[in-house]
Structure formats: C-alpha cells, structure tokens
Amino acid sequence: MPTRPYVIDEMISAKQIAARIEELSREIAHEFSDTDKLVVVGLLRGSFVFIADLVRELDLAVEVDFLEASSYGNAMESSREVKILKDLRGAIEGRDVLVVEDIVDTGHTLFHVIGLLKARKPRKLRTIALLDKPSRREAPIKADWTGFEIPDEFVVGYGIDFAQRNRNLPFIGKVRFTDDG
C-alpha cells in the first residue's frame, strides 16, 4: 500500500491512447504482412490492457503469450537486476514475435527480455512500448514502436500500477503527492 497520500493528474486520455493504437496497429500490420501467425508477447503485468486493445486492432492472425519479468516491487525505483518470473508457454523458434511493454524506463527489462528471446532464434523480433521515458535510459535499447514519449514522471493507469493500485484507470495519469514529504 502506498503510504503517502497522492492524487492522479490525467496526462494521456483514453481517446488519445485509442487513436495512437489505431495508428500503430496499421504500421505493425504492414511490418508483419508476410506472417502467417504472429506471436504477440505481453510483458506482465503492466501491458495487459495495452495488449488487449492492440491485438483487437491488428488485422492479422495472432497468438498471444505472456512473460513476466521482475520489476519494481512496491518501490518507485527500477532495479537493474531482471529475473524471469513466468516464461512463455510456447516456443518461438522460427516465429515472428512482437514484444509488448508498458513503459521503457531505464530499459533494463526490455534489454534483458530481448536478449533472452533472441537466443531462441525467432525469425523476426520486434518491440512496442506504450510509453517511453528517454531521459531515464540506462540500457542501450529503444522499442521499434512507441506510443508516447513522456517526461520523467511516475505514471499509473491503463494497466500500469503504483504499488498494485490504479491499473484499472482508463487513462494514463501522473502521480502527485499531496503531503510535503
């Protein structure tokens, strides 16, 4: 449970997100137009809303799988050590794969996951992140598609949490603490 009181200021509306997903899905469908079945891999848990909306906009045959890498726990700082908590169900050798991330922050999570999946020899491996905080980057990685670049703010909503809260907000909002600490 967060210990400090906070409010959430809307940063990206549900309408803006939907419009951007429509644009991105056209580019993705083009990139994978020669694919008979795309494997869309959601990184749990933050991407679950994004992947649900994205695959419904994709005019392609898709299979959906999930992978969970360790993340922040209940703190607001990223850890450099990335562990796989839940692996894919299916093999991806020779397959076309799209990895779906909620936010690329330091980039360590996506960097690690990409290394792991590349070693399994997919035919094509691409990445999409709903949000990117480029000013926070530590690992040498950039998603192939990004929904929105944002400043260094802690955000919630649309699948993204603060200490497991606020994932069910339909928009992306930034956390603003209302005490002095």
Question: 53, 59, 87, 105: which is the annotated catalytic residue?
Answer: 105
Residues at the contact surface with ligand IMP, assessed by CB under 6 A: 46, 71-72, 78, 101-109, 154-155, 160
Query: In the annotation, is 87 catalytic?
Result: no
* Closer residue to ligand IMP, CB minimum distance, 63 or 111: 111
* Closer residue to ligand IMP, CB minimum distance, 72 or 171: 72
Q: How far is the CB of 37 from ligand IMP (least distance, A)?
A: 26
* Closer residue to ligand IMP, CB minimum distance, 4 or 123: 4
Q: How far is the CB of 23 from ligand IMP (least distance, A)?
A: 22
Do the bridges between strand 84-86 and strand 62-69 make them parallel or antiparallel, or are there none, so unpaired? antiparallel
Q: How far is the CB of 103 from ligand IMP (least distance, A)?
A: 4
Catalytic positions are 105
